[in-house]
């Protein structure tokens, strides 16, 4: 969607994205049938070669040995007093923290990171583009090879299985980049087909290992790659899309989410085809829906509409500018016989304009806002905050008395605190906004405690109250 600009505040299109963020046969007699059947690969340690580096104030520290089986292309030394975030578990090393780069690493080179005292802080991929110099893959001294990738996928799959998210018709995120120790790698699984995004030069170097592990360990039916975007181009990589391995997927894949039948277009849909990160929000809408009139703005392929319909909504209106997305939403709705008699309408149009048309009519008891990111860069932040206030003000003014607003932000540069302030500022006197619930990620989208940047998704259930 491309909303009409209101005082220069609405800057992005709905079709861009809703979330960021908006991813072997053993040596025994039988090959494993599941990633969980694979035993971890044991890697022997190598002998350290002689060598030294000049440290701060003329001190000399011994070079750690190269990782066995891995040709390290450089070593990054951090400044004194600037290695704290990485020690605490932050997965990014910024250029301002770097004292010296040893060797001549290229984009995506695997490098060792040393603290100010010369101790190993881990291994990551290097970039000379922008301020993000190293993306940390591990804090341990292990090689970034096929065994490392298999172990990461094994652990990630075990987590998703343990929380009941896997299955033959399931849709779930298998690898969530830094959250799963695989920076730049996103893998989503839909009904046995994997969609892979490799979004950095370091991730690009692991393509064969990632695809091999998906096919031979996890046993997916096919792998589709959708590696596109500015972060790749900035590191000198071209866009890569298409079938990478295995079967060609059908044009539409049906997944099951909490008993909802939903269609996903993994070849032509947004991001990997679907916004798996809103699973919890959809479950909440289903619980809130009975007897309510629901407006589903920025509807995309209609998953919130299906949730509201199955929850017993009196009426569901979905607004979306993309004709193909809206048609897929209609087909998802038609899959379930329980929805045949439900009252629904599909509006191909602008969500901002739809809210303007509803202002003062007090027709809806529940409004869902899941817009694209309004702040893709830090420089967008001020205008994005105005856009969030404007959007939420329109929604609050379209609510019936006692109505509820479920509003979301997937802008990575907008903190939860800032988003709460924007929504609070949208309530005009005599109204005030009550936050009834805060939403975030589900277990298949883990985030590292030290990596606040990974918490891009924010959701608020809001009730306007008088006084």
Domain ranges for the chain: 23-38+143-270, 52-138, 275-466
Give the pLDDT confidence score for residue 121 in this predicted structure: 97
Q: Rounded to whole angstroms, how far apart are CA atoms 85 and 72?
A: 23
Taking residue 103's Cβ as centre, other Cβ atoms within 10 Å add up to 14
Spelled out in words, what is the top-level CATH class assigned to the domain 23-38+143-270? alpha beta
Residues annotated as part of the active site: 410
Closest CA to 422 of 449, 458, 376: 458
pLDDT of residue 298 exceeding 50: yes
More confident residue, 63 or 41: 63
Same fold, 23-38+143-270 and 275-466: no
Average pLDDT value over all residues in the chain: 85
Q: Rounded to whole angstroms, how far apart are CA atoms 81 and 86?
A: 11
Q: Rounded to whole angstroms, how far apart are CA atoms 19 and 31?
A: 38
pTM higher than 0.95 for the full model? no
Cβ–Cβ < 8 Å for 138, 122 = yes
Q: 201: cis peptide before it, omega within 30°?
A: no
pLDDT of residue 91 exceeding 50: yes
How many Cα atoms occupy the beta-carbon half-sphere of 122 within 13 Å? 21
The CATH number of the domain covering residues in 275-466: 3.40.50.150
Helices (H), 238-380: 279-288, 303-311, 323-335, 351-358
Q: Crossing angle, helix 303-311 and helix 323-335, to 10 degrees?
A: 30
Tell me: the pLDDT tens digits for 381-437? Answer: 888 899 999 999 999 999 999 999 999 999 888 999 999 999 999 988 677 889 999
Closest CA to 208 of 142, 293, 291, 148: 148
Spelled out in words, what is the top-level CATH class assigned to the domain 52-138? mainly beta
pLDDT of residue 75 exceeding 50: yes
Cα angle vertex 23, ends 205, 380, to 5°? 90
């Amino acid at each position: 969607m491309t909303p009409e600009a209101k005082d220069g505040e609405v800057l992005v299109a709905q079709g861009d994205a809703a979330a960021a963020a908006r991813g072997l046969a053993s040596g025994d007699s039988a090959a494993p049938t599941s990633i969980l059947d694979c035993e971890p690969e044991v890697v022997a340690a190598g002998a350290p070669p002689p060598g030294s580096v000049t440290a701060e104030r003329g001190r000399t520290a011994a070079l750690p040995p190269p990782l066995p089986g891995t040709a390290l292309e450089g070593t990054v030394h951090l400044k004194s007093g600037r290695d704290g975030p990485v020690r605490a578990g932050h997965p990014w090393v910024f250029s301002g923290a770097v004292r010296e780069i040893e060797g001549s690493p290229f984009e995506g080179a695997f490098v060792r990171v040393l603290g100010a005292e010369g101790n190993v802080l881990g291994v990551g991929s290097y970039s000379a583009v922008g301020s993000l110099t190293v993306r940390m893959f591990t804090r341990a001294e292990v090689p970034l090879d096929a065994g490392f990738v298999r172990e990461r996928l094994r652990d990630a799959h075990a987590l998703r299985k343990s929380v009941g998210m896997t299955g033959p018709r399931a849709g779930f995120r298998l690898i969530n980049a830094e959250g799963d120790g695989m920076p730049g790698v996103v893998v989503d699984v839909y009904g046995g087909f994997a969609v892979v995004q490799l979004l950095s030069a370091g991730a690009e170097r692991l393509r064969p290992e990632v695809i091999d592990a998906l096919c031979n360990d996890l046993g997916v039916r096919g792998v589709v790659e959708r590696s596109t975007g500015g972060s790749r181009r900035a590191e000198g990589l071209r866009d890569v899309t298409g079938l990478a391995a295995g079967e060609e997927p059908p044009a539409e894949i049906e997944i099951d989410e909490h008993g909802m039948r939903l269609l996903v277009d993994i070849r032509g849909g947004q991001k990997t085809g679907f916004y798996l990160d809103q699973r919890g929000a959809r479950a909440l809408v289903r619980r809130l829906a009975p007897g309510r009139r629901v407006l589903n703005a920025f509807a995309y392929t209609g998953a919130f509409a299906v949730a509201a319909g199955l929850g017993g909504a009196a009426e569901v209106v979905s607004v979306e500018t993309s004709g193909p997305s809206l048609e897929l939403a209609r087909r998802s709705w038609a899959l379930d016989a329980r929805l045949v008699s439900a009252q629904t309408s599909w509006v191909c149009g602008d969500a901002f304009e739809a809210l303007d048309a509803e202002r003062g009519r007090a027709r809806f008891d529940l409004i869902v806002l899941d817009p694209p990111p309004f702040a893709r860069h830090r420089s967008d932040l001020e205008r994005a905050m105005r856009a969030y206030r404007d959007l939420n003000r329109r929604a609050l003014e379209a609510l019936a008395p006692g109505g509820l607003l479920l509003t979301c932000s997937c802008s990575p540069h907008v903190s939860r605190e800032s988003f709460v302030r924007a929504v609070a500022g949208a309530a005009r006197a005599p109204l005030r906004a009550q936050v009834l619930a805060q939403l975030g990620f589900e277990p298949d989208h883990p985030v590292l405690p030290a990596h606040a940047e990974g918490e891009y998704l924010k959701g608020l259930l809001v009730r306007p109250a008088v006084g």
